[in-house]
Structure 1
């Protein structure tokens, strides 16, 4: 399981608040599960687009592997559903500007990154 979080929340955090801690908090708030946040696998940047007036930086962390959706507790006012996909299925479901992040994350996890984080767009 990887979790990608846009950097918009990061700008409002106190200096001592680590990005990994923010990731764990967001996963718990959005999915109702606790995860152990591992390595930062991919950092990606996206320019302003359509209704989003600012660029964002996305951090993708290794949050382990899940075997099913038991125990998920979705905040109904924010999320209607959750699903698991293979990396190929995820790439087909995601917008074209986000899909390359899936490939980069799979490669990074297989190589036990960080040193020399992979670039999303090669």
Structure 2
């Protein structure tokens, strides 16, 4: 791994090697979710959502899902971004990020409710589980 990637700040609570791998894939990727600095922002957004008061949380629909500044108001889109980062990483760093996401996902599942109306998307396929939770406007 190039030495310059270790000069970037750590990403969340991840090891220096995984943080470096994230910075490297963020600078090499063409995926919209995997761009420089985005993984740290997405993890912070996910944690902030889970820190909200109350026992049960509901997701918010983004008012403009195509807008880069608004799309991440929907926490399911944030989770899509984190999944894209995990998928872009090599096995070791990807496993470490997935372990962290597993802990956060457990809290997400515990504090949100499934929505039986969201079990299929427009194509008829089931979306990822984090899209099948109750939203505020339900």
Q: Do both share a fold (TM > 0.5)?
A: no
Q: Please tell me whether Structure 1 or Structure 2 has the larger radius of gyration of its CA atoms.
A: 2
Q: Which has the larger share of helix?
A: 2
Please give the TM-score of this superposition, normalised by the length of structure 2.
0.24
Please give the TM-score of this superposition, normalised by the length of structure 1.
0.25
